[in-house]
Structure formats: C-alpha cells, structure tokens
Amino acid sequence: MTIDKVYESPQAAVADVPDGASVSIAGFGMTHSFPTSLTVALREQGARQLCIVANSLGTGDYRSNTLIENGQVNRLIVSFSARAGEATSAAEKQILAGEIEVELVPQGTLVERLRAGGAGIGAFFTRTAVGTTVSEGKETRVIDGVEHVLETALKVDYALIRATRADRFGNLEFEGVGRNFMPAFAKGARIAIAEVDEIIDGELNPESIGLPGIFVSRVVRKTVEVPHDFPAPREGRGADSARTYHGKQALTRRQMAETAAGLLPNGSYVNLGLGIPTLISNYIEGRDITLHSENGVLGYGTIASREDYNPEVYNAGGQYVHLQPGASFFESVTSFEMVRGGKVDFVALGAFEVDGAANLANWSTPSMVGGGIGGAMDLVAGEVNVMVLMTHCDSGGRPKLVKNCEYPLTGRNCVDLVVTDLCVLRRAGDVFRLESIAPGFTAAEIAELTELELDLGEFGE
C-alpha cells in the first residue's frame, strides 16, 4: 500500500470532527499563520461544543474567532482571550456570559504541554508563572533552590496547522517564521491536518523538512485566499505620539525605544515584547546585538515598510522586519528553550504596573475579560535581565510605578530596568534608583508622579 495523505478538499479533511472534540488551531497574533481554509471548512461543517486550543484566536472571518462567532465553542485553552485596547470580541462576550469556559496558559507552557502530550511525557515542572494566578491550585516544588510549578501534558483530538508545502507522505516544509506553533500543535494531536500552499508531485528534499510526515495525518491544499493588509499602528499610539505632564511633552515612544537601545550592552541576545519594545529594533543597526522573537526568529533588525517586507518574516508584535546576517528560524518550543535556558540576556516588555518589589503586571486589567499572557510569563521566568518600557502614567493620569501591583502579576521580583517617557530607573538592592530624566523635567516632578519608593541618586543632592 502506498502512503498518500492528500485529501481532496478542506471540507473532506475535517468532515469527521465530531461534536465535543478538542481542536488545536495554530496561528500567531491577529492574522499570521492561521490555517484559514480548514477553519472555514470546520465552520461550514458545524461541529458544536468544541474545545479550542490556541495561542491567539485571531480576527476576521477566516480565523479561530469565527468558530466562536458561529456558536461552536464552549471551552478555550489559550494564551490570549483579550487584548488591551482592542474592541470587545465575540469570545470575550461569551466568556462574560458564561457560555465559554476559558483557561489561560503562558505561550511557552502551552507549546511545551502539547509537545509533552505527543512525547508521552505526563507532566513537567517549570519556573514559568510561579506566584501568579496561573499557578493557583497547582503543585509546586523547590528544585535546585528555585520554586517550580507542575504543568500537565495536553493532548487534543485534532490539530489544524499550516505550512508552505507538503508531499503525499505528509512531510511539511515551512518558510520564515511560519513553523512557530506548528510542530508542537501537530505532535499533541491524535489527528493533525495540514493546510499548505503547495502539494508537490514527488517528495520533499529530506534536508528541507520542518516536520516529518509521521506527525501529520492529512494534508490539503488551501482554498481560501485571505485579503492581506499591512499592519498600521492603532490611532493615537503611533511611534511619535507622546503624553503631556505638567503642561510639558514627555518623550515619544520612538525616543523611549532609542533610550532603551542605548542601555543594551554589545554582545547581547535580546527579546523584544509587544508594543513600544518592538521599536528598539530600529536603533541597534551596526551594533553587536542579536534580537530574538518567541515566534521563532533569531537575528532580525529594523521594522520593514510596506514597500520592502517579506510576509513570512515578522516579530512578536506581528510587524514585518528585516533579517540580519546570521539569522535563523525555528519552532516556538526551541524559542522558549533559549529563554528559559538562560541563553537570552535581556527581555524588553511593556507593562501596566511595576511595583516597589520589582513585580511586573502586564497581561490583564479589570476592564479585560481574561487577558493576554502571551509569552511574557515565560520570558521573565529565567535568568534574564528584564527591562520594562511604558508611559509613566496611564491615560487617566494614574501612576504605573506603584507601591504594590493591583493587577494580576506576570512575574515576581523580576524587573531590573524601567524606561518611561519621563525617566530611566535601575533596580539597586531594594529600591529603584533614578538614572536619567527626560529633558525639561525635574527629579521632584518624577517623584510626584511615582508611587513606589525612589532613590533619587545624584538628582537628589
């Protein structure tokens, strides 16, 4: 019998998905790497009471959220159920109404749980999420003097993934960062279904295979062409936007990123998180700094323009970027190995709050239904220098540098540097020391707008 895993259509490939099935659907951010043809086919097929496992639900008629809008989902295991600043989604409305149960999982833990499920590993201990709401009710253990949380393996009935090309054996080939979640999602599934741009006549070069066919049950050529839009910044939050304090303009987001870039030492491996940190990539050109992104790229540089971007190369914020010499691509499991294994030197993240104990809160606020953990809990869990970039106060004038975080924690005692639109603070023992001040402002003004205890250093003399 000759192996042939090719199905005639996406509809045929998902025809046997029953009510109550668990389905992992790969995809990154709001629009990238989603198996759109398979998702649309599953919507048309109509299976109900589904448990969807995903990093992000995406947006529009072609991604995971469309199944929720169609009333087919009653449970979610995701890294993002909501995003700050985005319009309320169907998922949020149904979660709030009690129609959908949701479990939020850090991104690195999610892929590791799926990988473990496919590898016959029942559970594992991780430093990720220690001391946060995510670890509540779970077993913890001190290993080598460090507290760890027990996470169980995750198996699903079906996985919907995408790749660039396949052969009849089910071998898959990816381009750029397109492999991100695909291997882990496929391995954790009883039946993995791959949607591809091309099914070749013959076989793939063994050297180019990103996922061996043993992990893939079905392949199908895509049938849905998704309109592609170049991402634009949200209104009022462009790189040159700036807040005003005491009638004076603070640093723009672009200036904050440039300041942060100047604090990174040469020879560093640096991860840039969502929001303002992504702009740092525009200010390291020519320096010996290598940028890492959890979606699977090491060695990228400046943000690309509409005229010169590659749709298969984007950063953690979903922005298209240029590659640097020596760049490499890999899956998300490998990416988080680099972080938790101590290979990444600096992590730059946005935040809602940082408190006097160097605790970080950046994934949920009281106005959000659930939240967006993403990879942040994994990124701050290892031996890494954590730099936070954020405005000094929120849009309502509330200080973000507080005595004690009121919002759910991302990590405990993990923040080393804070760059705001008014100053730079560096952790020194039990306090943050004022290291520099934005032009036109004084140390007294900084202190007035800061709740946590400050060491004014040379500015207090």
Residue 263: which CATH number?
3.40.1080.10
Residue 129 included in any domain: yes
Do residue 409 and residue 454 come from a single domain? yes
Residue 28 included in any domain: yes
Lookup: tokens for 254: 């672009």
Do residue 61 and residue 190 come from a single domain? yes
Residue 214 included in any domain: yes
Give me the pLDDT at residue 236, please: 47
Residue 377 included in any domain: yes
Range of the domain at 49: 10-221
Across all residues in the chain, what is the average pLDDT?
A: 94
Do residue 445 and residue 375 come from a single domain? yes
- Give 390-412 pLDDT, tens digit per residue: 999 998 999 999 999 999 999 99
Give me the number of domains the chain comprises.
2
Q: Among residues 189, 221, 253, which one ends one of the domains?
A: 221
- What's this model's pTM, rounded to 2 decimal places? 0.94
Residue 171 included in any domain: yes
Do residue 205 and residue 272 come from a single domain? no
Point out the least confidently predicted range of 44-58, 77-91, 425-439.
Answer: 77-91
Tell me what the mean pLDDT of segment 51-72 comes to: 92
Do residue 384 and residue 452 come from a single domain? yes
- Would you say residue 165 has pLDDT above 80? yes
Pairing of strands 415-419, 423-428: antiparallel
- Would you say residue 423 has pLDDT above 70? yes
Do residue 154 and residue 14 come from a single domain? yes
Give me the pLDDT at residue 62, please: 85
Residue 14 included in any domain: yes
Residue 362 included in any domain: yes
Residue 86 included in any domain: yes
- Give 101-146 pLDDT, tens digit per residue: 999 999 999 999 999 999 999 999 999 999 999 999 999 999 999 9
Do residue 102 and residue 141 come from a single domain? yes
Do residue 198 and residue 324 come from a single domain? no
Catalytically active residues are 294
- Give 323-370 pLDDT, tens digit per residue: 999 999 999 999 999 999 999 999 999 999 999 999 999 999 988 888
Do residue 216 and residue 251 come from a single domain? no
- 3 state SS for the chain: CCCCCECCCHHHHCCCCCCCCEEEECCECCCECCCHHHHHHHHHHCCCCEEEEECCCCCCCCCCHHHHHCCCEEEEEECECCCCCCCCCHHHHHHHCCCCEEEECCHHHHHHHHHHHHHCCCEEEECCCCCCHHHCCCCEEEECCEEEEEEECCCEEEEEEEEEEECCCCCEECCHHHHCCHHHHHHCEEEEEEEEEEECCCCCCHHHCCECHHHCCEEEECCCCCCCCCCCCCCCCCCCCCCEECCEECCCHHHHHHHHHHCCCCCEEEEECCCHHHHHHHHCCCCCEEEEECCCEEEEEEECCCCCCCCCCECCCCCEEEEEEEEEECCHHHHHHHHHCCCCCEEEECCCEEECCCCEECCCCCCCCCCECCCHHHHCCCCCEEEEECCCECCCCCECEECCCCCCCCECCCEEEEECCCEEEEEECCEEEEEEECCCCCHHHHHHCCCCCEECHHHHC
- Would you say residue 1 has pLDDT above 80? no
Give me the pLDDT at residue 235, please: 44
Do residue 210 and residue 279 come from a single domain? no
Do residue 22 and residue 122 come from a single domain? yes
Do residue 255 and residue 184 come from a single domain? no
